[in-house]
Amino acid sequence: MGNIDTPAPKTNVKVPGKSIVAYGIGDAGCNFCWTYVGNYLMFFYSNVLGVGMTAIATLFLLSRIWDAINDPIVGLVSDRTHSKWGRYRPWLLFGAPICSLVMILTFWGSSQWSEGWKITYMAITYCTLVLAYTCVNLPYGTLCSAMTQNMDERAKINTSRSVAAMLAINVINIITIPLIKLFGNGQQASAKGYLIVTIIYGLIFSVCHLFCFNNTKEVVKPIDEKRISIWKQLKSVSKNTPYMLALLGQFMFGLVLYIRNSDLVYYFTYVEGNGDFLTIYSLITIVPALIGAAAFPIAFRIIGNKGRTASFFAFTLGASMFMLYFFSPTTSPIWFYTFGALTQFFFSGFNTAIYAVIPDCVEYGEWKTGVRNEGFQYAFISLGNKIGMALGTAGLALWFGLTGFDSDAATQAGLKGLSYDAPAASIDVMHHVFSTIPGVLWILTGIFLLFYKLDKKIYNNILVQLEEKRGVKNTI
């Protein structure tokens, strides 16, 4: 393809239902790796291995330098991949099993190791995991834009993705602590429990991506197959205003999501006094999360702009999350779980909307600059999300350390079957990070996304012009 005189395959196509479901299952697999890592790895490092918060924070920050190198490289290489399976699907086939193995190694360790060996092992396994996950998740995310150019079909694909992701996230939060205790002789901070759970999740990760690989198809290819310099690609990205707003949205998404998710186990363990409350919280919020994902297409049809749809969900999410500060599952359970359900509903809608924005920015960039570089663009989306994640989790770890949280004391207490009394200042941080701080940040995210102007009418006009370049008429 790439010759205007030779008609290209029609790319503004409807996607089979099986492929839509299969794509969603791929993101369920992603969450059995990355949500698990985001929610539980910091607790594993501090309360199972007994590593200090300063070392944990430093690792999370330095790993983003590694991300800044490998994300664009993986994006470029995936864009230039040629195989009988397409550009992005083979990465799922070969990358998922390797990533699963690295994830298992990341959660394999002992509190009896020396501090130096713990930190060395953490650095090697975590940075390798970051690369391995990128090699799967980045092509997976880019695959959506290669399955169709139809805006409504992409909304369906991303709704499937979000529904599957929300289901996986809640299932992970429901079953993880009970499973760790089951395999760890009743202990929440059990090295054996974490290792066995990680093996199970690693297998799920691989199976989900293999299913996605087998049941999806790439139909969209660049107009010009020639290799494009990194400089030209960076220049094209900088001119893509909707994409830059999506990138900012993904940075805020990563910052707010992972600082709160890393706090969840600590919040329920130390603020509410029982880590099992996380299981109850996730059970109650699972249905609202699924409904929220399914509500995105309805909201999009009303608003007609995916960025502003994401903005609406961000505003309502921020307000609901802020209110959680004033209630507790022990003293005011009805109000606590009501606002908890609302936060999951609105978060799920936002999650669907913000990822649905990205594929449309690819078409805008191709129309604006003549450069189509899905993988390269998604690389920076992934990087923006991970930088937000790093700043959030590292900042939380440093904050815990500054307020006197003692990881070694928490680990030793856990080994003896005792509870650790966290300092009052640390408990106060855990409380605010669960509610007020992410509430304010989500509202700020909503403000930024109000400036997103790529609506359905503009997008369809762009698509007609792109199809004329390919010699294809819009048939849908």
pLDDT tens string 19-59: 999 999 999 999 999 999 989 999 999 999 999 999 999 99
Contact criterion met (CB below 8 Å) for 306 and 419: no
pLDDT at residue 23 in the model: 96
Q: pLDDT, tens digit, for every residue of 224-281?
A: 556 667 777 778 888 889 989 999 998 998 899 889 988 999 999 999 988 889 999 9
* Mean local confidence (pLDDT), 324-340: 96
Q: pLDDT, tens digit, for every residue of 404-456?
A: 999 888 888 776 777 888 899 999 999 999 999 999 999 999 999 999 998 88
Residues 6+ positions from 144 with CB-CB distance below 8 Å: 23, 154, 157, 158, 161, 355, 358, 359
pLDDT at residue 468 in the model: 75
CB-based contacts of 179-188 (< 8 A; 24+ apart in sequence): 187/414, 187/417, 188/47, 188/269, 188/275, 188/414
pLDDT at residue 470 in the model: 61
Band of residue 388 on the pLDDT scale cut at 50, 70, 90:
confident
Residue 80: what residue type?
R
pLDDT at residue 474 in the model: 43
Contact criterion met (CB below 8 Å) for 365 and 377: yes
Residue 6 has pLDDT above 50, yes or no: no
Structure tokens at 98: 């390797």
Residue 476 has pLDDT above 50, yes or no: no
pLDDT at residue 11 in the model: 64
How many C-beta atoms surround the C-beta of residue 458 within 10 A?
15
pLDDT at residue 223 in the model: 56
So where are the chain's domains? 17-221+228-470
Terminal Cα-to-Cα distance of the chain (whole angstroms): 21
Q: pLDDT, tens digit, for every residue of 143-190?
A: 988 898 887 888 889 889 888 998 999 999 999 999 999 999 888 889
How many C-beta atoms surround the C-beta of residue 306 within 10 A?
33
Domain 17-221+228-470 has CATH 1.20.1250.20: yes
Q: What is the mean pLDDT of the chain?
A: 88
Contact criterion met (CB below 8 Å) for 146 and 372: no
Q: For 111, list phi and psi in degrees, rounded to 5.
A: -70, -15
In sequence order, which ranges of 151-276 are alpha helices (DSSP H)? 151-183, 191-214, 230-238, 241-266
Structure tokens at 396: 């939380």
Residue 192 has pLDDT above 60, yes or no: yes
pLDDT at residue 199 in the model: 98
